[in-house]
Amino acid sequence: METAVKIAGAIAEKFGSAKPFPSFPNFTEPVLSPALKLENIPTYAPFENPFENVSKSSDVKTSVVPTNRPVNGTARDFPVVDIKILTIKRVYEYFSKLAEEYGEYTGGRVNVTIEEVENLNDLADEIKSSSGEIDGYILNPTSVGYFNITDYFLTLDDLISNSTTINWGDIFYAYREYVNVFGSETLLVPFDGDVMSMYYRSDILKYFNLTVPRTWEEYNNVAKSVHGQEYNGKTLIGSCVGRKMGWIGYFWSNLILSSMTQYQGTSTGFLFNPLNMEPLTGEALEKTIEYLEGQVKYGSPDEFDFCDDDSQTPNTCVNLKWMQEGSCVLTYDLDHTFKHQNGTVVEGVLGVAPTPGSTEVYDRELKKLVACTEEICGKYGYYDNDNGWINLAPYAAFGGWSGALSKNNSALETQETFNFFSYLSNPPESLDAELDPFRRSMLDLNAYVELGFPSDETQQYFSTVSTSLESENTVIDIRFLQSREIISLLDKEIAIYLERFSNGDGSANRTNLVDSITNQFNEIIASYDADHINDVDILIDYQDSLSFASTSGSVEETIDTSKSNENRFITVVIPIVFFLVVLFFSYYYLHNKYK
């Protein structure tokens, strides 16, 4: 138990307090990418001076500092490459510690300074106004689309392909191919990963002879079966999920909805059709709300309250609190529930499984739910003897934290910043429990067991994470300029509805709610596209965020909006007409003059 208490302290609120980062004994030496054409800069080992036979470039920020570190056995002064990284307050302390570790790792040759701004909004403003003083940024990949800042970042594909340190193939498919990719170009290096999982009390399900839920219908049925029952002196709660408006309730809606709307791969999206920006709502969103109603009915008493316990992870407090207390039977969450089990009553009896799927999916042409078949759901789902074909759409909510390189860097600064990001992205030999897995190599059973995690449940956790993030149907958040307005609307409308339902308000109507949300989605999109300040239709941004390519032609050919036609008229037709008019009058003038 003493060990468990130590572990619980070590993995307190994620990024709440930074701890020393273990060394990287197996981290191979950085080598400059041939694509950067810096053949005159040699490869180097730690504590060597890479500038000994190289003249300094005027556009590389260096400073000569005295050092007592051994360089080939001799203390000397040498130029230091200064790298400046900007991030937000929430993760500043954590990554500052890693920057210090990296400076020591390079023998003082690279000095990484981490600076902070208050939040992601401020960070986006700084990125847009930067004049070249910042070399890289640490931010959430979803926010890159929110703030439309992809054009400020360097494409990393050449650096990755030429790198001997990044070990890119070790990264899970979803984070390698989608979460950190825009327009089929890799723009970010992941340092952290997120994926939703389902957590359940294995002992309670066994006691009541219940199976682990495979569909959302089964989830609700299990919650109904155990809710209010007594077990080991506890009155059980069927499902515990926080639903306060303005919180992260849209995660839960997205999670359930996507199991019905996304079944042909990540690039096809879950909330809008990438061919025409049509909302994927209708019967699918109505069924989603029906499932949410059932979970609220058999839920915890404080689902619509904020958590005021600072010792809990703020964004999952309700989900986590009742599970640790011992009353909760089912919940879904990121990895917090698993990471915080040690030293609580659920240690050793906390089951982990992929979030439930759906036996029905939303037909985008018929605009209705249809039964899963092998043809429809066979590629990314599976066949179950009790339920038939089930679609699975694991949800990489939020997307973790990643690093992006500024386009304004010199070649050397670019390579050194990438080397630092490569260092951050490769996990240490000893587990850092603050990181959520985004690489296969991070699923080290012995390391977890040494930290006190139960072996069987850890293997379930590993299986769930790897299955979810290796899926080619992993769901990612919507990532374009109007996304924040859209998810805010979804969160607000559903939270208000569910609270009214919880209070017994009989006037709450699912169909009316879905119609209202759909209409508002369409209004947001139409308003954006009608604004002539926006030179790119929202559909293009949405397709880029999914790396979507239409099978019927190029991305641009799928668009048929009045603004696109108007832009084509302005840029093509008017110049042609002007040229013909000038040509006519020139001919008329010369003809009359010399006739």
Residues whose CB is less than 8 angstroms from the CB of residue 480 and which lie 6 or more positions away in sequence, other chains included:
145, 146, 148, 538, 541, 542, 545
Burial of residue 363 (CB within 10 Å: 0-12, 13-18, 19+) is middle
Question: CATH 3.40.190.10 occupies which residues in the chain?
Answer: 2-194+400-442, 197-395+470-501
Question: For 310-345, how does the pLDDT look when each residue is reduced to its tens digit (9 = 90+)?
Answer: 444 444 577 888 999 999 999 999 988 899 898 899
Between CA 516 and CA 554, with CA 274 as vertex, the angle to 5 degrees is: 150
**pLDDT tens-digit map of 513-535:** 999 999 999 999 999 999 867 77
pLDDT tens digit sequence for 62-116: 444 433 333 333 334 557 899 999 999 999 999 999 999 999 999 999 999 999 9
SS3 label, residue 289: helix
Is the confidence at residue 539, as pLDDT, over 60? yes
pLDDT of 147 strictly over 70: yes
- Residue length, the chain? 595
Dihedrals φ, ψ of 196, to 5°? Answer: -75, 140
pTM over 0.95: no
What's the average model confidence in pLDDT over 148-169?
Answer: 96
Please name the residues in contact with 524: beta carbons below 8 A apart, sequence gap of 6 or more.
482, 485, 486, 489
Class of domain 2-194+400-442: alpha beta
CATH of 197-395+470-501, one of 3.30.70.2740, 3.40.50.300, 1.10.10.10, 3.40.190.10: 3.40.190.10
Q: Average pLDDT in the 391-417 region?
A: 96
The mean pLDDT of the chain is 82
Spatial separation of the C-alpha atoms in residues 144 and 23, rounded to whole Å: 30
- Cβ of 206: how many Cβ atoms within 10 Å? 12
Q: Which H or E run includes 564?
A: helix 562-568
Long-range contacts of 464-468 (CB under 8 A, 24+ apart): 464/197, 464/352, 464/353, 464/354, 465/172, 465/195, 465/197, 465/335, 465/437, 466/172, 466/440, 467/354, 467/394, 468/174, 468/195, 468/196, 468/197, 468/354, 468/355, 468/394, 468/396
